[in-house]
């Protein structure tokens, strides 16, 4: 418990929106952009899902008031997808409407493979009405190359990550080398999509993505490198100094315990990676 509390104090911006916005403003002063996320998944009741939607709406308004350079990320199970798809659609639509009014980009995050298709279906059903939205895809899944090709064809903004969930072998690559190879292949495909975001702390993956962007004729403002709050800040700054657009994912909220516990439980290398970077 003490270890998790210590980790949370470094890798979560705080309990409140105000804490998170102060962290975003600090990043902005260094020329680094941010993505804000209110921690919490798997709402179990309608009331919890509606409260999560209200928190995201408040987040959008507070970001607009603060005039900081940040967008938001959200998970559909937090908005009620596991309870009622209609409820999740209603909550997501309200958030998209507010974001469009305030001109703030929203990205729908990806969860475990149990929710991949439902997340994509809901996302694509709303995309024609809300053009300025994006999705996350995970290179650990065998299906992702096909999903990336579909996203490119549809002109969707994609955040590519490796994925932090323990998945069935028939759905996901078990070998780390295969996950990395799929990441690189998908990153190369995403150079044909608008403003691709390469989310990784792996220097080899970053180098491969940058090489693919160069080969595709992209300039540094045509893509983003994304990392997690509290992890490898010196690397953020190096990339920013090299002229790359760097965006840091900033989580906040009181639900940090399940956030850390689930990731550590599912992949022990997640904890080892964090521990290796504590003293950077």
Active site residues: 109, 159
Helix (H, G, I), strand (E, B) or coil at 160: strand
For residues 268 and 275, the answer to whether their CB atoms sit within 8 Å is no
**CA 179 to CA 175: how far, in whole Å?**
7
**CA 58 to CA 221: how far, in whole Å?**
29
Query: Strand pairing partners for 157?
Result: 134
Cα-based angle 265, 167, 186 (whole degrees, multiple of 5): 115
Q: Which residues contact 15 (CB under 8 A, 6 or more apart)?
A: 252, 253, 254
**Residue 105 burial (C-beta neighbours within 10 Å; 0-12, 13-18, 19+):** middle
């Amino acid at each position: 418990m003490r270890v998790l509390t210590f980790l949370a104090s470094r890798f979560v911006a705080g309990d409140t929106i105000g804490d998170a916005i102060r962290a975003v403003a600090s990043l902005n002063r260094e020329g680094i952009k941010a993505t804000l996320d209110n921690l919490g998944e798997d709402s179990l009741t309608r009331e919890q899902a509606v409260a999560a939607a209200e928190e995201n709406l408040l987040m959008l308004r507070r970001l607009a008031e603060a005039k900081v350079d940040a967008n938001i990320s959200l998970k559909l199970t937090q908005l009620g997808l596991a309870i009622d798809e209609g409820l999740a659609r209603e909550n997501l639509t309200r958030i998209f409407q507010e974001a469009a009014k305030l001109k703030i980009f929203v990205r729908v995050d990806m969860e475990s493979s149990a929710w991949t298709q439902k997340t994509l279906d809901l996302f694509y059903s709303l995309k024609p009405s809300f053009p300025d939205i994006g999705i996350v895809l995970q290179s650990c899944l065998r299906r992702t190359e096909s999903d990336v090709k579909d996203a490119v064809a549809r002109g969707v903004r994609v955040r590519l990550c490796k994925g932090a969930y323990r998945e069935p072998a028939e759905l996901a690559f078990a070998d780390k080398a295969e996950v990395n190879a799929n990441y690189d292949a998908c990153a190369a495909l995403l150079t044909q999509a608008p403003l691709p975001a390469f989310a990784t702390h792996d220097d080899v993956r970053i180098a491969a993505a940058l090489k693919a962007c160069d080969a595709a004729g992209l300039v540094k403002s045509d893509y983003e490198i994304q990392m997690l709050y509290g992890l490898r800040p010196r690397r953020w700054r190096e990339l920013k100094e090299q002229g790359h657009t760097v965006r840091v994912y900033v989580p906040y909220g009181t639900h940090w315990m399940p956030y850390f516990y689930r990731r550590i439980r599912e992949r022990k290398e997640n904890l080892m990676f964090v521990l290796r970077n504590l003293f950077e």
